Amino acid sequence: MYSIAVMGDKDSVAGFGALGLETRFADEPAECRKVFRQLASSGRYAVIYITEKAAAMIGDEIEKYNEAMLPAVIRIPGVSGNTGEGIMQVKRSVEKAVGSDIIFNN
């Protein structure tokens, strides 16, 4: 059975532990890369939620998993605010799957 992990700065992800999700704290680029690699390569996680701030530090590492079935890597806002990168990633994924922009169809 797969689990769900949440990673990012402590203030942003600590509360997810109360929901039964595994939380991993990382603030620096090298630390984010190490934690993400451990989570993604373990085979234990179907979903890895990562704060937008942490994801920005290791975008190249996350890209390696864009085509993989598991884990799904989902960017979420942190306590420092929403950069909009999470929703843009969802938009790109939907465009790729559907063939057109059905979310922000301007």
Domain boundaries, the chain: 3-98
CA distances from 61 to 37, 56, 65 (A): 8, 10, 8
Q: What is the per-residue pLDDT for 91?
A: 73
Integer-rounded Cα Rg, in Å, for the chain is 14
Q: What is the mean pLDDT of residues 61-68?
A: 89
Range name among 4-13, 29-38, 72-81, 91-100 with the lowest pLDDT average? 91-100
Q: What's the pLDDT tens digit per position in 29-62?
A: 999 999 999 999 999 999 999 999 999 999 999 9
Domain 3-98 falls under CATH 3.40.50.10580: yes
- Mean pLDDT for the chain? 89
CA distances from 86 to 19, 33, 67, 70, 91 (A): 21, 18, 17, 18, 9
